[in-house]
Structure 1
Amino acid sequence: MADGSLAPTGSFASTVRRATTAILAPERWWIVVIAIFAASRVVTTSLLLWFASVQGQNPWTGPAPDYFSFAKIWDGHWYYIIALTGYPSELPLTEAGHVAENAWAFMPGYPAVVRFIMTLTTLDFAVAGVIVSVAFSLGAALLFYRVMHLVLPAGTALFSVAIFCFAPLSAILQVSYAESMYLFLLTLSLYWLMKRQYWMLLPVIAVMSLTRPSGLAFALALGLHVVYRWWIRRREEFPLRERIAAVSATLFSLVMGFAWLLIAAVATGSLSAYTDTELAWRAPYVGYGELVPFAAWIQGAEFWAQWWQVPLWLLLVMLVASVLAFFVFLFTTPARRLGVDLRLWVASYALYLLAVFFPQSSTFRLLMPMFPLAGALALPPSRVYRALLLAACIAGQWAWIHLAWWVDAYDWTPP
Structure 2
Amino acid sequence: MTTMTPVNEIAQRARSALIAFPLGIYAVSRLVQLALLWWMAPDGKIRDRLLAWDGGHFVRVAEEGYPRGYSYDIDGHLVGNGLAFFPGYPMTVRFVHLVTRLDYGTAAITVSWLAGGAAAVLLCALGTRLYDERAGLALTALFCAQPMSMALSMGYSEALFTALVAGMLLCAHRGDWLLAGLLGLGAGLTRPTGAAAAIALAVAALLAVYKRRADAQGAGGTPVWKPVGAAVVALAGVPAYLLWVGLRVGDLGAWFDIQTAGWGTTFDYGESTLTFLRDAFKAGDGWIQVSIAWMLLGVVALAITAVRMRVWPPLVVYGLIVLVLVLGQAGYYHSKPRLLVPALLILVPPAVALGRARPRTAALVLTGLGAFGLWYGSYLITVWHYAI
Amino acid at match of 2:316: R
The reply on whether 1:207 has 2:196 as its aligned counterpart is no
Aligned to 1:131: 110
* Pair 1:93-2:69 in alignment: no
Measure the CA separation in 2 of the matches of 1:139 and 1:128: 16
> Of 27, 43, 50, which aligns to 2:15?
27
The question of 1:381 aligning with 2:357 is answered: yes
For 1:189, what is the secondary structure of its paired residue? helix
What amino acid is the match of 1:28?
Answer: S
Deviates more, 1:257-266 or 1:222-231: 222-231
Letter in structure 1 aligned against 2:160: M
TM-score normalised per structure 1: 0.77
Q: Is the 8 A contact 1:229 1:238 kept in 2?
A: no
- Structure 1 residue 104 displacement after superposition: 1.0
Check whether the contact 1:296–1:359 (CA below 8 A) recurs between aligned residues. no
Task: Give the structure 1 partner of residue 148 of structure 2.
Answer: 169
- Selected match of 2:260 from 265, 275, 279: 279
Say whether 1:102 aligns with 2:81.
yes
User: 1:263 is matched by which residue type in structure 2?
Assistant: W
Report deviation, 1:282. Answer: 4.1
- State the Cα distance separating 1:154 from its structure 2 match: 1.6
After superposition, the Cα gap between the structure-2 partners of 1:109 and 1:27, relative to the gap in structure 1 and judged at 3 Å, is closer
Instruction: Indicate whether 1:51 and 2:40 are aligned.
Output: yes
CA contact (8 A) 1:23 1:31 kept: no
Do the aligned partners of 2:143 and 2:347 also contact (CA within 8 Å) in 1?
A: yes
* CA–CA separation in structure 1 for the residues paired with 2:182 and 2:195: 16
Contact 1:168 1:394 in 2 (8 A): no
Between stretches 198-207 and 241-250, larger displacement belongs to 241-250
Sort the Cα spacing of 1:241 and 1:230 in 2 relative to 1 into closer, same or farther, 3 A: closer
CA shift in 2, pair 1:256/1:363, >3 Å: same
Tell me the alpha carbon deviations over residues 284-337 of structure 1, each in whole angstroms, 9 at most, x when there is no partner.
Answer: xx9xxxx5x5x25213434665687669xxxxxx9998897455323333xx3x
Aligned match of 1:254 in 235, 245, 248? 235
1: CA distance, partners of 2:216 / 2:364: 39
Corresponding letter in the other structure for 1:234: A
- Taking structure 1 as reference, are residues 356 and 299 closer, same or farther at Cα in structure 2, changes over 3 Å only? closer
Larger gyration radius, structure 1 or structure 2: 1
In 2, Cα distance between the equivalents of 1:182 and 1:255?
A: 16
What does residue range 363-378 of structure 1 map to in structure 2 within 5 Å? 363-378=336-351
1:297 is aligned to: 270
| Structure-1 separation of matches of 2:188 and 2:143 | 22
* Residue matched to 2:56: 77
| SS of corresponding position for 1:73 | coil
Count, aligned residues: 364
Change (3 A) 1:228 1:202: closer
* Matched residue type, 2:32: V
Return the letter of the residue paired with 1:381: A
Q: Which amino acid aligns with 1:249?
A: A
Q: Does 1:218 align with 2:201?
A: no
Tell me: CA distance 1:212–1:23, structure 2 relative to 1, closer, same or farther (3 Å). Answer: same
Map of 1:234-245 to 2, 5 A cutoff?
234=214, 242-245=223-226
| Contact 1:160–1:378 under 8 Å retained in 2 | yes
Q: Structure 2 matches for 1:346-361, cutoff 5 A?
A: 346-354=319-327, 356=329, 358=331, 360-361=333-334
Q: Kindly tell me: are residues 359 and 251 of structure 1, through their superposed partners in 2, closer, same or farther at Cα, counting changes over 3 Å?
A: farther
Q: Distance between the aligned counterparts of 2:376 and 2:295, measured in 1?
A: 23
How far the C-alpha of 1:150 sits from its partner, in A, is 0.6
Q: In structure 1, what is the Cα distance between the partners aligned to 2:26 and 2:301?
A: 32
**Distance in 2 between residues matched to 1:358 and 1:48, nearest whole Å:** 26
Shift of residue 191 of structure 1?
0.8
1:151 & 1:307 partners in 2: Cα distance?
37
Cα contact 1:133–1:180 (8 A) shared by 2 = yes
In structure 2, what residue type is equivalent to 1:353?
Answer: V
CA distance in 2, matches of 1:348, 1:238: 33
Select between 388-397 and 298-307 the one with higher mean Cα deviation: 298-307
Deviations 1:134-154 (CA, angstroms, capped at 9, x unpaired): 111111111111111111222
Give the letter for the 1:331 counterpart.
Answer: V
Select the residue among 119, 139, 157 that pairs with 1:140: 119
Residues 229 and 236 in structure 1, CA contact (< 8 A), matched pair in contact too: no
1:88 counterpart SS class: coil
SS across alignment from 1:331: helix
The alpha-carbon deviation at position 276 of structure 1 amounts to: 0.6
Worse-superposed segment, 94-103 or 175-184: 94-103
Contact 1:209 1:215 in 2 (8 A): yes
Could you tell me whether the CA contact under 8 Å between 1:147 and 1:191 is conserved in 2?
yes
Assess, with a 3 A threshold, how the Cα gap between structure 1 residues 238 and 166 changes in structure 2: closer, same or farther: farther
Once the two structures are TM-superposed, the CA of residue 128 in structure 1 deviates from its matched residue by: 1.6
Following superposition, the deviation at residue 121 of structure 1 comes to: 2.5
Identity rate, percent: 24
CA contact (8 A) 1:69 1:126 kept: no
Against the structure 1 CA distance between its residues 321 and 125, is the aligned structure 2 distance closer, same or farther, given a 3 Å change threshold? closer
Q: 1:392-407 counterparts in 2 under 5 A?
A: 392-402=369-379, 404-406=380-382
Matched to 1:369, the amino acid is P
